[in-house]
Amino acid sequence: MALIVAKFGGSSVASVEKIKNITLRIRDMRDQGDDAVVVVSAMGDTTDDLIKLARATGNELCCRELDMLLATGEQQSAALLALTLKNLGCDAISLTGWQAGIRSDSTYNKARINGVDTERIKKELNQGKIVVIAGFQGISPEGDITTLGRGGSDTSAVALAISLKADSCMIFTDVEGVYTADPRIVKDARKLSKISYEEMLEMASLGAVVMQPRAVELAMLYRIDVEVRSSFNSNPGTIITGVENMEKQRVVTGVTHDLNCAKFALFDVPDRPGIAKTLFKALAEHGINVDMVIQSAMRDNRNDIAFTIMRDDLDRALPVVREIAEKISASGMTYGEDVAKVSVVGAGMQSNPGVAAAMFEALADENINIQMISTSEIRISCIIDRSCIETAVRALHRKFALDTLD
């Protein structure tokens, strides 16, 4: 008899009808003789609706009270799932984060899990119950309710799987797994049966968010396998695991793209120490993450600086960049939303030189101009014209033969 930790996201519990659908999947586990701990997110848009209410008070930023408010969403979906399971004849019990023993620090809105006291969960499992746990939440050392920040329910599930020494951790979502590219763009994109933690982290941060990076990091730290699969059917998904477990070394594992990009350029910036710091510190203070940066070769002790941010942050970034441009006496500033990022990811590229060259060649063959480049050990990303993104993804998928290899 195995112990499975299964997490269902907000879209899987968005209505009582959808909750009824997933109970069938949970009953299947039970029918196979497995014990199940089920972690749920809040129903559909509940969290957003609660944030709107908090905002209406004029005080959305008060962290402790916001967590008190937001944590109700997962408590509701957990209770409704337990009710539905019991109605189906499966004995079930719902637990809040604090009842499930999920201890966190006191960093409201983005608390980190310190540990899980599993006594209560084990007691309920021993009584033959399916244990449904409200994700995204914990309890601080002071006895206050905390929430774990974006993707918190994925992190709850992984932490529970680790603490309970579960045989399996499954993240049920609205996609079937991790693909070699977005199947909406590349018709012959393949579902990967396995992917390494490192690759998954890169792909998630590049726009293919099937599982939250933070939860992947936690799984990687404790070396537990996590399977991402569909909540709508019983097809096998993608197993996120350590490289040492992988049967075959691929050079490139997948192609990802991200349309949530905007680009800034500042011209004729003085070539003095501290200039870049001034700019990027100001952006950081406004909570705006800078993705790629290039600085052109200097002429007359002046540089051009270009960088990209998330397109969602553009409105907030504009006044900040304008002010800094003036302050550092740049001769001009431009920005644009007509860019996108395409990346190839693969643990294998560490030992395979020539991946970058092949990538650039594939893009050149399609007459696509590369505006910026950034790389990590297992990733190469290019900023290109937004209108070319689908062509680029297809060309790279073909170039690295992702439709055939595994």
Q: What is the DSSP letter of 179?
A: B
Total of residues contacting a second copy (CB under 8 A): 38
* Both structure tokens of 191: 């579902």
What phi-psi label fits residue 44: left (phi over 0), alpha (psi between -120 and 50 degrees) or beta?
A: left
Contacts 24+ apart (CB under 8 A), 347-351: 347/196, 347/198, 347/199, 347/243, 347/249, 347/250, 347/253, 347/378, 348/249, 348/250, 348/251, 348/252, 348/253, 349/251, 349/252, 349/377, 349/378, 349/379, 349/380, 350/377, 350/378, 351/249
Choose the binding region for a second copy from 62-70, 233-241, 304-312, 317-325 (rule: CB under 8 A). Answer: 62-70
Backbone Cα Rg of the chain: 23
CB of 53 vs a second copy, minimal distance in Å: 6
The correct pick among 27, 110, 112, 120 for binding a second copy (CB under 8 A) is 120
> Residue 48 or 188: which CB sits closer to a second copy?
48
The correct pick among 12, 41, 96, 155 for binding a second copy (CB under 8 A) is 96
63-82: contacts with a second copy (CB under 8 A): 64-66, 68-69, 71-72, 75-76, 78-80, 82
CA atoms in the 13 A half-sphere facing the CB of 266:
27
The correct pick among 3, 5, 13, 19 for binding a second copy (CB under 8 A) is 19
> Residue 49 or 366: which CB sits closer to a second copy?
49
CB of 99 vs a second copy, minimal distance in Å: 6
The verdict on 20 binding a second copy (CB under 8 A) reads: yes
32-61: contacts with a second copy (CB under 8 A): 50, 53-54, 56-60
| Local structure of 376: helix, strand or coil | strand
The verdict on 94 binding a second copy (CB under 8 A) reads: yes
CB of 46 vs a second copy, minimal distance in Å: 10
The verdict on 144 binding a second copy (CB under 8 A) reads: yes
152-191: contacts with a second copy (CB under 8 A): none
The amino acid at residue 343 is S
| Residue 338 buriedness (CB in 10 A; 0-12 / 13-18 / 19+) | exposed
| Residue among 317, 328, 380 at smallest CA distance from 354 | 380
Q: Which run of H or of E encompasses 327?
A: helix 314-327
Q: Which residues contact 165 (CB under 8 A, 6 or more apart)?
A: 3
Choose the binding region for a second copy from 143-151, 245-253, 389-397, 398-406 (rule: CB under 8 A). Answer: 143-151
What phi-psi label fits residue 207: left (phi over 0), alpha (psi between -120 and 50 degrees) or beta?
A: left
> Residue 62 or 209: which CB sits closer to a second copy?
62
> Residue 8 or 264: which CB sits closer to a second copy?
8
CB atoms within 10 A of CB 120: 15
> Residue 92 or 382: which CB sits closer to a second copy?
92
Choose the binding region for a second copy from 85-93, 310-318, 336-344, 346-354 (rule: CB under 8 A). Answer: 85-93
> Residue 53 or 401: which CB sits closer to a second copy?
53
Binding site for a second copy (CB under 8 A): 16, 19-20, 50, 53-54, 56-60, 62, 64-66, 68-69, 71-72, 75-76, 78-80, 82-84, 86-87, 92-94, 96, 99, 120, 143-145
